[in-house]
Amino acid sequence: MADGVTTASWAVQRARSTGAALMWVVVRWRLLPWWLRITVVYTLSRVLTTVLLTGFARIQTANSFTVQHPSYLSFASIWDGAWYRVIAASGYPSTLPVDAAGHVTENAWAFMPAYPFTIRAIMTVTGGSFELVAVGVSLLAGWGAALVFRRLMGRFLDPARATFATVLFCFAPVSVMFQVAYAEAMGLLLLLVALLLLVQRRYWAMLPVVLLLGITRPTGLAFALLMSLFVLVGVCRPAWLRMPERLTLRTAVPPAVVAVVSGMVGLAWPAIAWAATGVPRAYTDTELAWRSSYIGWGELVPFTPWVQGFGWWFHQPAGTILLIVVLVGFVAVVFQPAARRIGLELRLWGLAYLVYLLAVFFPQSSTWRILLPIAPLLGVVALPRSRVYRVAMVVLAVVLQWTWLYYCWWVDGYDWTPP
């Protein structure tokens, strides 16, 4: 009996000490500066993703990108990383490659120059390898994006929700982009900075950011649409959108200038490709080469790619019906009453980016990566306070991250699902 009482007392004391230790950790965690908490979360998320990537690298067979069982850096530099390597080493071709029928085939003009030229500059200064520098730039840009994302969420949400939204941001299914040789992390950092400056109404400070963003990822036209919608809503100020201030002719000029500049940057790269190759449609024809294996060769007709894509994936009329359901669902989420918590600017950005994708993008296996710029909408996902919900969302994100790596990144024989 005495032994039982002693054991029970020991268990109670152990539970109390464990609870006290956990409470100490929680208190100390809350006392940390917000940027340090986000840095810890980002580091943990990247460690997890590194484990997942390394696991897939160990079973990777030899392919056109790597040898069998490649190193982490080599495995993290496949797919589009191979194109960025070419650009960093030799720039862009002056003559477009064509097939026997005269169609432009895949080439470097599909990729913006800011990321590979940044890598090239750092390689020249440091002597580092392409893989090390490319992954390092993405890793640092992803860290910066996480910090700016938390600042942006903090403009609309309470600290706990803003931090949880950032946790989802760091562990998202396509957060692998923060540590591979892709331009997504750099582009997302610039986008989030531009959105934060918009929320702060620092329009003139946005100009250099928008210029750099437009030559990092093809989002110039989408951001121009955002700024145009912002000006339109600010001038008209419909009550149902609850814009806090009305734009006058004088105050509408700065955001209108940003819209014009962003639009010009969005059109600049196709113009540069034309000037360098002598082919007026060099950029668009290059982009069309990536969808030719799905629907064959054709012209770029705005707002038809998603109908074609859903028709290819799901056949008709099921494809069109599903597309309508997806679009209606997206708009419903963006404009639901709860979504007002994240501000009009972020909701307008989600709408503007969706319109841009509907106009020019063909939905394929890279769609999940292409959707990364709508990450600010994670603020809506982060609204519920339930701990069970939050744990479930993080677990789901990790499971989907593994799923995305399995189906899109890992090269399994003849792979037709590039990320």
Q: What is the CA radius of gyration of the chain?
A: 24
| CB 230 within 8 Å of CB 205 | no
What is the model's pLDDT at position 11? Answer: 52
Tokens 């003009």, located at residue:
109
What is the model's pLDDT at position 289? Answer: 93
Interatomic CA distance for residues 235 and 245, integer angstroms? 9
Tell me, yes or no, whether 29 lies in a domain: no
What is the model's pLDDT at position 9? Answer: 64
Tell me, yes or no, whether 43 lies in a domain: yes
What is the model's pLDDT at position 19? Answer: 56
As a residue count, the chain comes to 419
What is the model's pLDDT at position 22? Answer: 47
Interatomic CA distance for residues 327 and 358, integer angstroms? 10
Residue 65 burial (CB count, 10 A): 16
What is the model's pLDDT at position 30? Answer: 74
SS3 category, 98: strand
What is the model's pLDDT at position 24? Answer: 55
Looking at residue 361, the DSSP 8-state letter turns out to be P
What are the residue ranges in the chain where pLDDT is below 70? Answer: 1-29, 239-244
What is the model's pLDDT at position 70? Answer: 97
Q: In this predicted model, what pLDDT tens digit does every residue of 268-318 receive, in sequence order?
A: 999 999 999 999 999 999 999 999 888 889 888 999 999 999 999 999 999
Tell me, yes or no, whether 12 lies in a domain: no
What one-letter code names the amino acid at 321?
Answer: I
Tell me, yes or no, whether 28 lies in a domain: no
| CB 113 within 8 Å of CB 272 | no
What is the model's pLDDT at position 164? Answer: 97
| Tokens found for residue 130 | 């392409």
Tell me, yes or no, whether 376 lies in a domain: yes
What is the model's pLDDT at position 59? Answer: 95
Structural domain harbouring 380: 37-409
What one-letter code names the amino acid at 247?
Answer: L
Q: How many domains does the chain have?
A: 1
| This prediction's pTM | 0.93
Interatomic CA distance for residues 257 and 297, integer angstroms? 37
DSSP string, 344-356: HHHHHHHHHHHHH
Tell me, yes or no, whether 385 lies in a domain: yes
